[in-house]
Amino acid sequence: MASIMTNTSAMTALQTLRRVTDDLATTQDRISTGLKVNNAKDNAAYWSIATTMRADVAGFKAVKESLELGSGTTNTASVASKNIVENLQTLKARVIAGQTNGVDKSLIQNDIDQLVKLVKGAAADASFNGDNLLRITYSNDGTAKDQNVDILASLSRSAGTVDPSYISFQRQDMQVTSIVGKATIEQQVDSTNDLKASVGIAIGAPDTTFIDGQNLGLGNLTLNVTNEAGTKTAVTVDLSGIDYTTDLATTQGLIETAVNTALTAAGGDFQVAFNGDKLEFTDQDLNTDGNFTAKVDSLWVGSKESDAFGGLADLTQIDVTSNATKSLEVINGLLDKAIGKAAVIGSIENRVSVQNDFVSKLTDSMNKGIGSLVDADMNEESSRLQALQVQQQLATQALSIANQGPQNILSLFR
């Protein structure tokens, strides 16, 4: 039926043109954005997944930045700790050389002092962005307040929550700080001098290094005492329980009492007393005839890591001029200690590096997965664009022909 009121052919052609035009607009949008799913109306499920995953990728970028910062910090600490170990190896060789009689021990000691300064400098300078893994600070009660370190390492999402995970480890204190100085020991066994030895213990004034009630951080004081009969006795005094009490004089008195009690129990001829910041060992049974009286050797004051003592605090007591044997014993332990601390830093450096590489690969994999969901296939879209352009032209021509239908009816009335 021919009708001038309803042009069915034109309506069909118009619908086709509209559909082709919409498809063409969609294809052009995909080509311009590079995405086949650009918003929720394109594909709600894929859009939701991709949007969530993009948020995860952004989170992992922050994780990678944290790992990069951690890598710089651990690398710096690792270089410094390696340098410290190398200097301690050299220092050990100097201490061994100082065991030999007939060498100029003062020259050797000068080398040792310079090496100690290098170690101290390396530990102090191992800072990256203000963070030093070789330095620990302590609270007034003597406990470490920043020993633990957490480096953001990953994120895991489940049940609508995101949980961070960390590379957790402890700082390795390699500072060379100490309130204890080198011991001075009388080497002449036939001396009539009553002062046989002394060691500096600089506790300081109240509220400087210590506050009332704070532990001093001392360990065992050890020495050998030889009496007039030639009997040598090893003496160990545990000073670990001594706290800063009331004032300097009272605190020094606690140390004096502990040491004197141990010396008396050992049957020695010595007693101690502070003279300023020096704890002095004096012979109480002085023989004035110039013959053998008594002697002290291997005097050492141990410590534990605290405000007053760094992890390598014992380096300050190394002295081959008057305490060569004990210095050799201690340097072996210090080298082992430094190697252990450097090994911890090295393992953390490696772990951070491996995790950083993993996060980088994981981020690439996530981006690839997102792309497979929402990225447009440009080869396919290019072919579709050409096809739709042809369809649009044909649909336009079809509509034009259909619109001419009512005009053809006029010829029936001529």
pLDDT, position 110: 96
- Is the distance from CB of 55 to CB of 48 less than 8 angstroms? no
Is residue 311 classed exposed, middle or buried when 0-12, 13-18 and 19+ CB atoms within 10 A define those classes? buried
Tokens of 257: 């009492």
Beta-strand pair 295-303/127-128: unpaired
The order of strands in the sheet holding 270-275 is: 180-185, 195-201, 278-283, 270-275
**CA 118 – CA 124 distance, rounded (Å):** 10
Strand segments, DSSP code E, in 146-202 are: 148-158, 161-170, 180-185, 195-201
pLDDT, position 287: 75
pLDDT, position 142: 67
Would you list the domain boundaries of the chain?
Answer: 48-174+341-365, 180-309
Q: Output the tens digit of pLDDT for each of the chain's 414 residues.
A: 556 666 677 778 788 878 878 777 777 877 877 777 888 887 888 888 888 888 888 889 999 999 999 999 999 999 999 999 999 999 999 999 999 888 899 999 999 999 999 999 999 999 999 999 999 988 766 678 889 999 999 988 777 788 899 999 999 999 999 999 999 998 777 778 889 999 999 998 887 888 888 899 999 999 999 887 788 999 999 999 999 999 999 999 999 999 999 999 988 789 999 999 999 999 888 777 767 778 899 999 999 888 889 999 999 999 999 999 999 999 999 999 999 999 999 999 999 999 999 999 999 998 898 888 887 778 877 888 788 788 788 778 877 777 776 667 667 666
Angle at the Cα of 35 from the Cα atoms of 32 and 36, rounded to 5 degrees:
115
Region of 204 please: left (phi>0), alpha (psi -120 to 50) or beta: left
**Residue 168 β-bridge partners:** 150
pLDDT, position 6: 60
pLDDT, position 346: 96
Residue written as tokens 């086949």?
36
CATH topology of domain 48-174+341-365: f41 fragment of flagellin, N-terminal domain (1.20.1330)
pTM greater than 0.95 (yes/no): no
Other Cβ atoms less than 10 A from the Cβ of 335: the count is 17
Helices and strands of the chain, counted as H and E runs: 7, 11
Tokens of 390: 């042809």
Query: Each residue of 266-295: b (16+ CB within 10 Å) or e?
Result: bebbbebebeeeebbbbbeeeeeeeeebbb
